[in-house]
Structure formats: structure tokens, C-alpha cells
């Protein structure tokens, strides 16, 4: 590659980053519906026609921001899961949930872009499907791993639920085939319930629905993680749920995987915040 070609590519990449950074500032100030290519060019000192060589339309710029957001939250979930012992299924679930929440709190406008209200007039292209699937596939892999290990348990209930039925089985068929092989439909329903509740509580926190209702979200979120994990059937995380002490069979003094994730993402560890395990 001639030196001039490499320089042009580098300059193009740098300007693309600047355009997206300015677009994110506009997201924070105006929201996604208010995103304007002209306003971006004005803030960057570009000619109004120059930006079209990078993003032919506002929707192309929105798509780039959406792909970046999905990739970022997906990477956070993947990284958190990777730090945990493979057979600590409850710990993996909690670490992943904490990482998604931390990313969301650190990037509220990007979270709103991908998990908030749809942008009027925008239709997401196929380019967004792969990045959007990354965070979901972390949970799917975790559920499949636990199912194949034979450690998933059925939640205790006061009475038996009616059978799922033909319509429910049909609705879940694609999900099970694509992401949850070796998992029963009942487990798939519980996994969907836990995953959507995770994003539901994060959305309530970010969008202010806990105002004057729940002042300290951390302990409620942590307890909810445990309840959702139990709903799916995961074993408890491998820490003492009361004091953050190692359970029997875990080496004393060893830093737990979930504590490692909490440290890296700025969350309280078990020793620092025991309140979230109150029953």
C-alpha cells in the first residue's frame, strides 16, 4: 500500500471517530430523534456535503452508533463472563448482570438508543443483528452450559403450572433451535423471563422510575440478580451469601470471580456491601 493511501485511510478513520463522538454528544443533548448531520458538520467545522462521504444519511450514522453500542455492551458481558470459573454458573450470571448494568449507567444515552423507545422513521438494517445478539448469546451459552452439566434446578412453587401448550412451544422453537440447544422449553421461558427482567430493572433505574420509591438501587439489584438466577435454575454463586466468605470447599483467602468483576467495574464487593444479600 502506498504511503499516501495509508495516510488517507488513517485520516478517514480518525474523522469517522470524531463524527461519531459528536453524534453521541448530540444524543445526550437532543436525543436520537434530534440527531442531525448538518448539526454535526457545523460543530466539527466541516462543509455540509463532506459528511456524506462518511455517512450518506442520518440513518447510516444512527446505525453506526447502534452497532457500536451493541458491541460495547456485548463486550462488557463477554468479558465479565470470561473472568469467572466455568462451573460457577450463579457467579457467571451475577457477574454478567453487573457488567451490563455498569455499562448502562456509564453510557445512559447509548443504552437508551438501543434499549429505549424506537427512533421514529428509523428501520434497523441487518447490520445490527449480529452486534445485538452478542449480549443475549452470553446468557444463552450460560444456560446451555448449566443444562449440559446437569445442574439446573426447577424453582420451588406452591402449585404446578399448566403445560406450556402448542402455541408456546411454537413461539419458542426458533429461540431454542438457534441459541438454546439441549434446553427444554420450560427452561427457555425462565431464561427469557430472567433476561428481560434484568433489562427491565436497569431501564427503571436509568429512566427514573424508581424516583422516591427505591432510593438505593444497588441492594435491590443484587437481590434481584439472585432471584432471577434462581428462577432459571442456576446454583448460587460460590460465595457466602451473608458475609462474602468462601463456602465449604473454596480455598480461604481466594478472591472470588464475582468480586474481581465488581472491582473492575467500580461496584462494591461482597465485603464492602453486605446489604444486598439481606433476605
Tell me the pLDDT tens digit for each residue of 199-235.
999 999 999 999 999 999 999 999 999 999 999 999 9
DSSP classification of residue 279:
-
Q: Does residue 244 come out as left (phi exceeding 0), alpha (psi in the -120 to 50 range) or beta?
A: left
pLDDT for residue 154: 83
- Give the residue ranges of DSSP H helices in 2-83: 3-30, 37-44, 58-82
Mean pLDDT of 128-144: 96
Mean pLDDT of 153-174: 81
Tell me the pLDDT tens digit for each residue of 35-79.
999 999 999 999 888 899 999 999 999 999 999 999 999 999 999
Task: Select from 63, 67, 71, 62 the least CA-distant residue to 27.
Answer: 62
Tell me the pLDDT tens digit for each residue of 13-33.
999 999 999 999 999 999 999
Q: Which residues contact 264 (CB under 8 A, 6 or more apart)?
A: 83
pLDDT for residue 10: 87
Gyration radius of the chain over CA positions: 22
Euclidean distance between CA atoms 60 and 37, whole angstroms: 10
Higher pLDDT, 164 or 190: 190
Q: Give the sign of the dihedral formed by CA 16, CA 20, CA 26, CA 31.
A: positive
Q: Which residues contact 216 (CB under 8 A, 6 or more apart)?
A: 275
- Mean predicted lDDT score pLDDT of the chain: 84
Euclidean distance between CA atoms 151 and 65, whole angstroms: 39
Domains in the chain and their CATH numbers? Answer: 1-56 (1.10.10), 67-277 (1.10.357.10)
Residue 203 neighbours by CB distance under 10 Å: 15
Amino acid at each position: 500500500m502506498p504511503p499516501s493511501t495509508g495516510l488517507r485511510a488513517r485520516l478517514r478513520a480518525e474523522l469517522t471517530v470524531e463524527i461519531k463522538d459528536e453524534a453521541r454528544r448530540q444524543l445526550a443533548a437532543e436525543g436520537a430523534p434530534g440527531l442531525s448531520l448538518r448539526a454535526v458538520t457545523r460543530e466539527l467545522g466541516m462543509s455540509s456535503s463532506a459528511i456524506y462521504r462518511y455517512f450518506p444519511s442520518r440513518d447510516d450514522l444512527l446505525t453506526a452508533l447502534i452497532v457500536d453500542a451493541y458491541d460495547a455492551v456485548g463486550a462488557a458481558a463477554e468479558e465479565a463472563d470470561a473472568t469467572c470459573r466455568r462451573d460457577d454458573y450463579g457467579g457467571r450470571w451475577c457477574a454478567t448482570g453487573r457488567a451490563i448494568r455498569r455499562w448502562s449507567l456509564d453510557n445512559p444515552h447509548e443504552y437508551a438508543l438501543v434499549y429505549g423507545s424506537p427512533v421514529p422513521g428509523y428501520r434497523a438494517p441487518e447490520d445490527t443483528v449480529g452486534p445485538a445478539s452478542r449480549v443475549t448469546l452470553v446468557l444463552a451459552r450460560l444456560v446451555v452450559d448449566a443444562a449440559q452439566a446437569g445442574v439446573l434446578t426447577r424453582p420451588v412453587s406452591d402449585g404446578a403450572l399448566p403445560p406450556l401448550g402448542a402455541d408456546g412451544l411454537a413461539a419458542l422453537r426458533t429461540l431454542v433451535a438457534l441459541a438454546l440447544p439441549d434446553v427444554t422449553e420450560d427452561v427457555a421461558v425462565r431464561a427469557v423471563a430472567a433476561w428481560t427482567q434484568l433489562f427491565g430493572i436497569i431501564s427503571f433505574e436509568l429512566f427514573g422510575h424508581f424516583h422516591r420509591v427505591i432510593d438505593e438501587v444497588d441492594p435491590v439489584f443484587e437481590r434481584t440478580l439472585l432471584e432471577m438466577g434462581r428462577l432459571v435454575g442456576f446454583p448460587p454463586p460460590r460465595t457466602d451469601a451473608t458475609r462474602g466468605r468462601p463456602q465449604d470447599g473454596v480455598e480461604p483467602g481466594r478472591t472470588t470471580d464475582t468480586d474481581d468483576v465488581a472491582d473492575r467495574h467500580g461496584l462494591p464487593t461482597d465485603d464492602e456491601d453486605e446489604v444486598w444479600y439481606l433476605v
